Amino acid sequence: MNYARTLALALLGLAPLAGPARAADPLAIVEVAEVSRGNSASVLRLPGTVLSTQDAQISAEVTGHLTWIAEVGELIRKGEPLATIDDHLLQLQLRNDWAEIERLKADIDYNRRQIGRLETLAQQNNTSKSGLDEVQSRLQMLLQEQRIAEVARDRTIHDLGRARVRAPFTGVIASREADIGEYKEPGDPLLRLVDTQALEISVNAPLRAAHHNQPKSQVQVEGDGRQLLAQIRALVPVGDSQSRMMEIRLTLEPGHWSIGEAVTVELPDSSSNNTLTVPRDALVLRDQEVFVYTLSADNTARKVAVTTRPGHGADVGVEGALEPGALVVVRGAERLRDGQRVKITRRQAAGNPATPG
């Protein structure tokens, strides 16, 4: 009985010591960023597609059997051959053209000599004037026929050059539509050549977006876990009565996404307003309330309720009891409590990766 009473009194004596120890919160390890002031606007997040500005279906230009064609995946430089077509008939045609030209030259020389003889006789009144006119007319006709024959020869030479199909630009063979041995006519598809270095992003947007986006302005593009800013090259403010959509083209440097890959484009959908911005990671959503934690001079966390506004990229606009330059917690806020002391391990600029503080 005395032992139980002594133990109870001892526990009561320790209770005041244990209470403050449990009440003291440990220092929270956090990363912070500064509140900044910038322009914000509501944005549209729209799907876009990466495409090449030079994507051509190469076709045959002369008639004949296909004797060689490049393989899929080959990189072909501008001016290098893509395919060759049998040119035997064209070679024969060229020989015939040259023969026709030589025949006409012989006739022309003969008629010139004949004119010389007739002119001599005409001076001696030994021939009629009409006979001389007839030979001169014949000479002019032969000269015209020679010009026509030379044009036919030049056309055949041109067709011989087209029998070897050459790349109009540097690109990769994306697909083949023909095989060696097939007989081809002009216009028959041979292969698809794609320039993998000249890239753009095509995005369909509502027509109203033309009021808030201009060529040379930059917008954010996301895809496959990567983000970058791309410049608007052109807007095509022409839509139809059903979709009410227009096309916007963005310039894209190679090395980020492949042709045909899907991306997400953020386009401003309203006029920009000057407002306070914080990193999106600073927002805490708890019990249907949105707030951030700022730090007092003694590194104590202070809860500040905010109202979100449109943002851009990693930043979001906010309204609340904040000032530009104030520190907000961007890492570790989910376990913080109002009034808790913190220890800063890193400081990062709003919207940028963390850098050692």
> Who contacts 157 (Cβ-Cβ below 8 Å, separation ≥6)?
94
All domains of the chain in start order, with CATH: 25-41+273-356 (2.40.420.20), 43-53+198-268 (2.40.30.170), 56-85+163-197 (2.40.50.100), 87-162 (1.10.287)
Q: Give which of 40, 28, 29 is closest to 278, Cα–Cα.
A: 40
3-state SS, one letter per residue, for 312-353: ECCEEEEEECCCCCCEEEEECHHHCCCCCEEEEEEEECCCCC
Rg (the chain; Cα; Å): 41
**DSSP line for 249-297:** EEEE-TTSS-TT-EEEEEEE-S--EEEEEEEGGG-EEETTEEEEEEE-T
Question: What's the start-to-end Cα distance of the chain, in Å?
Answer: 62
> 45: buried, middle or exposed (CB in 10 Å: 19+, 13-18, 0-12)?
exposed
Can you say whether residue 123 is alpha, beta or left, with left for phi > 0 and alpha for psi between -120 and 50 degrees?
alpha
Phi, psi of 245 (to 5 degrees): -115, 150
Q: Give which of 237, 203, 208 is closest to 222, Cα–Cα.
A: 203
pLDDT value of residue 348: 65
Cα separation, 151 vs 293, in Å, equals 84
Record the tokens describing residue 119, joined without a space: 């002119």
SS3 75: strand
Q: What is the pLDDT along the chain (357 residues), one digit of tens a residue?
A: 455 555 444 444 544 444 443 445 678 888 888 888 766 667 788 999 999 999 999 999 999 999 999 999 999 999 999 999 999 999 999 999 999 999 999 999 999 988 888 877 777 776 667 777 888 899 999 999 999 999 999 999 999 999 999 999 999 999 999 999 999 999 999 999 999 999 999 999 998 888 888 999 988 899 988 889 999 999 998 887 788 899 999 999 999 999 999 999 988 877 666 678 888 888 888 878 899 999 888 888 898 898 877 666 677 778 888 888 888 998 888 888 888 888 888 766 544 443 333
* Cβ atoms of 153 and 172 closer than 8 Å: no
* Cβ atoms of 279 and 346 closer than 8 Å: no
Cα separation, 352 vs 357, in Å, equals 14
Q: What is the pTM of this model?
A: 0.63
